[in-house]
Amino acid sequence: MTSDALKARLARERAQVECAICRHRQWLAAPQGRCDQCGSEIALFEDREAADRALEEITAEGRVAFLRELAGGLYAVIANRVFRGKAGS
C-alpha cells in the first residue's frame, strides 16, 4: 500500500529509476508509473519488505521483474509489460 508520506515526498522530489529492462533513466513523481521507453511497470516503495512482497506476486504470475534500491532509501520494482491477447483466444 502506498502511503501519503511517499506521495508527498515524490511530489516534492522526484525519484530517479533506471529501467532494469531497457536501461532508460526515468524520473517518477508518483509511486507508480511506466518506463517512457519500453512501457515496463515501475512501482516505488518505502520499505524493502513491501517491495519484496510485490516482486514475489509479480514473479508468481510468470512475469519478469526486478527489485532495485534507489538513492534516498526507496525501492523500485520494475516489471515487464503485460500484453493482453484478443478476447476468446
Which residue reads 534516498 in cell numbers?
72
pLDDT tens-place string over residues 12-55: 999 999 999 999 999 999 999 999 999 999 999 999 999 999 99
Q: What is the pTM of this model?
A: 0.88
Return the minimum-mean-pLDDT range out of 27-31, 36-40, 68-72, 82-86: 82-86
H/E run at residue 28:
strand 25-28
* Contacts for 52 with CB less than 8 Å, ≥ 6 apart: 67
pLDDT at 14: 96
Grid cell locating 15:
525519484
Of the pLDDT bands very low, low, confident and very high (cuts 50, 70, 90), residue 87 is low
Grid cell locating 34:
511506466
Of the pLDDT bands very low, low, confident and very high (cuts 50, 70, 90), residue 85 is low
pLDDT at 55: 98
Rounded Cα distance between 14 and 56, Å, is 26
